[in-house]
């Protein structure tokens, strides 16, 4: 365990007690679809797209039967829309075929779904089911983990491993949300607001 890593979580938890997943969803099915769509896209844009998508395809069974051009049209503004439409419809088909239309609750099973890698699986397990099987490593977590000296790695899988070793399992779900919120509000990529940062006194990557 790392005392500095635990300090990071404690201070950010105090700064952002409301930190949570920003993707709007009502159930695990909506969350997994939204998370797949969020790749290289903002959560805000995904949240604009999904209401119409879920009105038309409210269940995995509905999405599994969808015509690909119709799905592509609905998700077009999230970018890489052809690949994303193929992934979410393929994911829905596998949910229906292998899991009775329900989102599975294990890492091993989630990783069998089209469009689902460890980041998406960790989001679903942590947010939908409260299961800490790993740490979400998105672009914010990647950047802040390195800037804060929590890892020297550049590969997301190795960063995740370092964070899991540095923190107790009880912090694995929260640390992803907290670093994402801090990255969006204070620790920006190009111009971090170090003067407003609760970690400024000990951050090895501070710029002022």
pLDDT at 16: 98
Residue 204 pLDDT > 80: yes
Nearest 5°: CA angle at 22, between 39 and 85?
Answer: 35
Six-digit token string for 189: 């990529």
pLDDT at 1: 80
For residue range 4-37, list pLDDT tens digits in order.
999 999 999 999 999 999 999 999 999 999 999 9
Is residue 86 very low, low, confident or very high in pLDDT (cuts 50, 70, 90)? Answer: very high
**Catalytic (active-site) positions:** 119, 138
| Local structure of 190: helix, strand or coil | coil
Mind listing the domains of the chain with CATH numbers?
3-20+134-196 (1.10.1670.10), 28-129 (1.10.340.30)
For residue range 161-188, list pLDDT tens digits in order.
999 999 999 999 999 999 999 999 999 9
Is this prediction's pTM over 0.75? yes
Residue 97 pLDDT > 70: yes
Residue 207 pLDDT > 80: no
Mean per-residue pLDDT over the chain, rounded: 97
**100 alpha carbon, distance to own chain's centre:** 25
pLDDT at 206: 83
Write out the DSSP string of 66-98: --HHHHHHHHGGGSSHHHHHHHHHHHHHHHHHH
């Amino acid at each position: 365990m790392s005392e500095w890593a635990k300090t990071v979580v404690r201070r950010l938890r105090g700064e952002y007690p409301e930190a949570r997943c920003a993707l709007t969803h009502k159930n695990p099915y909506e969350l997994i679809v939204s998370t797949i769509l969020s790749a290289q896209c903002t959560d805000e844009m995904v949240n604009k797209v999904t209401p119409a998508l879920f009105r038309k395809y409210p269940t995995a069974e509905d999405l599994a039967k969808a015509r690909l051009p119709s799905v592509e049209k609905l998700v077009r503004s999230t970018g890489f829309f052809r690949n994303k439409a193929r992934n979410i419809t393929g994911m829905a088909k596998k949910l229906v075929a292998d899991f009775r239309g329900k989102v599975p609750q294990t890492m091993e099973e989630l990783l069998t779904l089209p469009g689902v890698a460890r980041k998406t699986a960790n989001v679903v397990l942590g947010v939908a089911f409260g299961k800490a099987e790993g740490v979400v490593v998105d672009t914010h977590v990647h950047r802040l983990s390195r800037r804060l000296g929590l890892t020297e790695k550049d590969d997301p899988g190795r960063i995740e491993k370092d964070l899991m070793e540095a923190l107790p399992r009880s912090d694995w779900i929260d640390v992803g949300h907290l670093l994402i919120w801090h990255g969006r509000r204070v620790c920006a990529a190009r111009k971090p607001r170090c003067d407003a940062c609760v970690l400024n006194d000990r951050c090895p990557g501070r710029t002022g």
